Amino acid sequence: MKVLIVGGGGREHAIAYCVAKSSKVEKMYCAPGNAGIAELAECVPIGAMEFDKLVTFAKEKEIDLAIVGMDDPLVGGLIDEFEKAGIRAFGPRKNAAILEGSKAFSKDLMKKYDIPTAAYENFDNADEALAYLETAKFPIVLKADGLALGKGVLICNTLEEAKAGVKEIMLDKKFGASGNTMVVEEFMTGREVSVLSFVDGKTIKTMTSAQDHKRAKDGDQGLNTGGMGTFSPSPFYTKEVDEFCRKYVYQKTVDAMAAEGREFKGIIFFGLMLTEDGPKVLEYNARFGDPEAQVVLPRMKNDLIDVIEACIDGTLDQVDLQFEDNAAVCVVLASDGYPVAYEKGLPITGLDEFKKHEGYYCFHAGTKFDGDQIVTNGGRVLGVTAKGATLKEARANAYKATEWVQFDNKYMRHDIGKAIDEA
């Protein structure tokens, strides 16, 4: 089988790692890929939003399966384009990817189908939003409706902050058209857990849980980022939480999408908050998390291609999804200055060390070749990942492995998985 992976970050490297292990795959391409993915796949310089070029390439190379891991092309309808051209593709169609693409849509869906989430109101008019905020309880959360690179969420402690937030999102259009509509949401407190799942339109199978660290600095300080590190499983995702979500969240979401005529096939990522009143949905994503995929996929026992094919064919009920009974931790090595301004093109050394150790992975996020030398090419550069028998062991292993790699301006958080100690 010939496989094309669309994307070029750490998540796609983790997907490529699993695809490469499959006995069914004879050739793998990645568009655009990165220097790490290039060890496993032939990288082609086509961007994830260049739909025409991707479809033409897939037809030319007679691709048997295209896997789309990123939110933008999914929400933009890349799966539909592949399918129109007769190419089998994994991910939700445009009418289902709206689950991530519009927060107003997902909030209305949860309300209609009684899926637990924070109380909210949607606004497409700034004056009405401002009038509502005058009488609201603080803190309060403002969310740009559309995709905003994970930055369209503002937690406002005062009316003044909220007014400035409305201006930013709806009037100044800091997040572009994503801010044409805005969700105003009740502020919740509790631990956050990510649960990724495979979905075939009817059946849902959840993967092992994970937890992300979104802020740039230790102690959850600094700006929001794409994610600075993850651990899996989350010790806070207990049997009770799982049972609750099975009953009130997971299958209900899949059934709700089907009932709306928006059959969902692909990955649903549930961002949950474990509040005092029970688990509530913070957000849905329509893809693997990055860097959640980096700690979840290496622990999966199944052949990823088998599971993906079952999702496309609607036979997921026949899959026995299994994960190793261990743990994994991913520490992101970033370029100092991320997520604002940072240098690129800095040589990276020490990468070969990972080949000498079983259970250690260096997933590339922002890297490229400069001649024979691998150099930095983004804010998040590498996702250093290690397994261990326990979370503590995995964490110690991952931090040990961060020392194997060197590049100028290397930056990381030192408290990834600190929450493990409180479990």
Chosen from ligand AMP, ligand GLY, none, partner binding at 185 (C-beta under 5 to 8 Å by type):
ligand AMP
8 A C-beta contact, residue 188 and residue 273? yes
Q: Which residues of 241-266 are buried (b: 16+ CB within 10 A; e: fewer)?
A: beebbeebbbebbbebbeebebbbbb
State how far the Cα of 279 lies from the Cα of 247, in Å rounded to an integer: 11
Number of H helices, E strands in the chain: 13, 22
Amino acid present at 287: R
| Residue 279 contacts ligand GLY per CB under 6 A | no
| Residue 100 contacts ligand GLY per CB under 6 A | no
Q: Where are the beta strands (DSSP E) in 233-317?
A: 265-275, 278-285
| Residue 283 contacts ligand AMP per CB under 6 A | yes
Which lies closer to ligand AMP via its Cβ, residue 152 or residue 383?
152
* Window contacting ligand AMP (CB under 6 A); options: 45-53, 148-156, 295-303, 393-401: 148-156
- Binding to ligand GLY (CB under 6 A) within 287-346 occurs at 289-290, 292
| Residue 188 contacts ligand AMP per CB under 6 A | yes
Chosen from ligand AMP, ligand GLY, none, partner binding at 227 (C-beta under 5 to 8 Å by type):
ligand GLY
| Residue 81 contacts ligand GLY per CB under 6 A | no
Rg (CA), the chain: 21
* Window contacting ligand GLY (CB under 6 A); options: 77-85, 158-166, 260-268, 283-291: 283-291
| Residue 212 contacts ligand GLY per CB under 6 A | yes
State how far the Cα of 80 lies from the Cα of 98, in Å rounded to an integer: 13
| DSSP at 4 | E
State how far the Cα of 420 lies from the Cα of 422, in Å rounded to an integer: 5
Which lies closer to ligand AMP via its Cβ, residue 145 or residue 200?
145
Interface size with ligand AMP, residues (CB under 6 A): 15
| Residue 169 contacts ligand AMP per CB under 6 A | no
Residue 323, strand partner residues:
300
Tokens representing residue 412 in the block: 């990381």
* Window contacting ligand AMP (CB under 6 A); options: 55-63, 187-195, 238-246, 410-418: 187-195
| Residue 78 contacts ligand AMP per CB under 6 A | no
Which lies closer to ligand GLY via its Cβ, residue 123 or residue 287?
287
| Residue 201 contacts ligand GLY per CB under 6 A | no
Residue 221, strand partner residues:
217
Which lies closer to ligand AMP via its Cβ, residue 2 or residue 151?
151
CB of 55 to ligand GLY, least distance (A): 26
For tokens 């496993």, what's the residue?
40
Half-sphere exposure (Cβ direction) of 113: Cα atoms closer than 13 Å? 21
| Residue 146 contacts ligand GLY per CB under 6 A | no
Chosen from ligand GLY, ligand AMP, none, partner binding at 132 (C-beta under 5 to 8 Å by type):
none
Estimate the share of the chain in helix, then strand, then coil, as percent rounded to the nearest 5: 35, 30, 35
State how far the Cα of 228 lies from the Cα of 217, in Å rounded to an integer: 9
State how far the Cα of 40 lies from the Cα of 355, in Å rounded to an integer: 13
Residue 32, strand partner residues:
7
CB of 227 to ligand GLY, least distance (A): 4
Binding site for ligand AMP (CB under 6 A): 118, 141, 143, 150, 153, 155, 185-188, 192, 214, 271, 282-283
List contacts with ligand GLY (CB under 6 A): 150, 212, 227, 285, 289-290, 292
